[in-house]
Amino acid sequence: MFKINPYLIFNGETEKAFNFYKKVFGGEFQSLMRFKDVPMKDQEMGHFDKNEGEKIINVGLAVGETGLMGSDAPKSMPSKMGENVFLALEVDSKEQADKIFMGLSEGGKVNMGLADTFWGAYYGMLRDKFGIGWMVSYTYPKK
């Protein structure tokens, strides 16, 4: 079973945008993490600097049966209109993530290969051969 959520990327306006969407749609934030909340070892590997600490690295808003997700793009990787919407696909296993990621990436461009993350998921990003952005994620069960 899959779950797909739209994922919006902004150039520093995520908090303003998501407060607006919360006002319009209702619901509650399911998650909100800022760049400063990223563990230091992952910050050093990332593409953002300490001056971007208040920017949002991930936010989730419950909207009806699904959710709306988003983040700010670091200054080193600005978001372009038309390339700032992704489909976030949550799958049931690492094997399923591998299979779907491999299929979607055929003829496309991998932005971030599938790998374990600090937030407890096996995750990767790509743009398929038709230009559609995908985020494929398997979230490990909580221990």
Burial of residue 14 (CB within 10 Å: 0-12, 13-18, 19+) is buried
DSSP 94: H
Look up the CATH number of the domain holding residue 119: 3.10.180.10
The C-alpha R_g of the chain, in whole angstroms, comes to 15
pLDDT surpasses 60 at 133:
yes
pLDDT of amino acid 44 = 55
Each residue's pLDDT tens digit, 35-53: 888 876 665 555 667 778 8
Strands (E), the chain: 3-10, 29-34, 56-63, 66-72, 85-90, 109-116, 121-127, 133-139
Tell me the residue range of the domain where 135 lies.
Answer: 3-139
Q: What is the pTM of this model?
A: 0.71
Q: What is the mean pLDDT of residues 88-100?
A: 92
pLDDT of amino acid 47 = 62
Q: Total structural domains in the chain?
A: 1
